[in-house]
């Protein structure tokens, strides 16, 4: 009698323990299914350059992020030639010296695209001439982090070599999150005089209405 009672208790405990396991397995399977239907996105490279505006005295600082859509969405009703709801974010730190010693300026921006066709595209961000001239912005900045995201989550990222250590990247993210809010000088391409340049590789972003 006691043996049967103990067996019943173990069976009940097994049922309780199996329930969370099955629930966790269900979530894992859902995540795998969502990922299997997501587009394949990749950051190819980033270039930093000074670009001249025709008729202007001082250049803009351009950050050109080349991205690749390897494969489009594969869910029901999706067009496999297109990846929908793609976002690219940039966090940037420039080193400046204004006579008071070494310091940094942080900038951040994010651009969203309703859809991107399979192939390569270039996402461009800019710092205006006044900032470039004041802080003597040239070449590769002190630090940067670039992310490309889809509805399934983070697809790819790229960081500057000096942020490859986890503790350095975490410190950079913390500073960028707190200080980039103070500075909104980073511009998207359509907010600059270069809005209609590079038509062959420039995708059309989602415009946020006021």
| pLDDT tens, residue by residue, 145-180 | 999 999 999 999 999 999 999 999 999 999 998 887
Residue 79 located in a structural domain? yes
24, 87: one domain: no
Q: Is there a domain that residue 205 lies in? A: no
Residues 50 and 83 in one domain: yes
Domain membership of residue 119 as a residue range: 39-191
> Is 203 contained in some domain?
no
Q: What angle do CA 39, 192, 173 make, to 5 degrees?
A: 55
54 lies in the same domain as 26: no
Q: From 162, 78, 148, 73, select the one nearest 118 (Cα to Cα).
A: 73
pLDDT in tens, 81-98: 999 999 999 999 999 877
For the chain, first and last CA: distance in Å? 74
**CATH code where residue 129 lies:** 2.60.40
Count of the separate structural domains present in the chain: 2
pLDDT in tens, 109-143: 999 999 999 999 999 999 999 999 999 999 999 99
pTM for the model: 0.79
CB contact set of 92 (below 8 Å; sequence gap of 6+): 63, 106, 107, 108, 125, 141, 143, 144, 186
């Amino acid at each position: 009698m006691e043996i049967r009672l103990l067996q019943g208790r173990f069976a009940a405990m097994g049922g309780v323990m199996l329930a969370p396991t099955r629930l966790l397995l269900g979530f894992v399977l859902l995540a795998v299914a969502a990922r299997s239907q997501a587009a394949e996105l990749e950051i190819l490279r980033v270039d930093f350059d000074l670009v001249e505006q025709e008729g202007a005295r001082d250049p803009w600082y351009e950050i050109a992020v080349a991205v690749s859509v390897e494969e489009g969405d594969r869910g029901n009703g999706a067009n496999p030639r297109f990846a929908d709801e793609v976002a690219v974010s940039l966090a940037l730190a420039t080193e400046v010296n204004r006579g008071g010693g070494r310091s940094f300026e942080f900038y951040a921006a994010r651009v969203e695209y309703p859809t991107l066709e399979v192939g390569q595209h270039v996402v461009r961000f800019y710092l205006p001439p006044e900032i470039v001239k004041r802080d003597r912005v040239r070449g590769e900045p002190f630090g940067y982090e670039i992310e490309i995201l889809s509805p399934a989550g983070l697809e790819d990222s790229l960081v500057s070599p000096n942020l490859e250590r986890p503790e350095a990247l975490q410190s950079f993210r913390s500073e960028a999150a707190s200080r980039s809010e103070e500075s909104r000088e980073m511009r998207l391409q359509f907010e600059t005089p270069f809005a209609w340049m590079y038509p062959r590789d420039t995708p059309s972003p989602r415009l946020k209405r006021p």
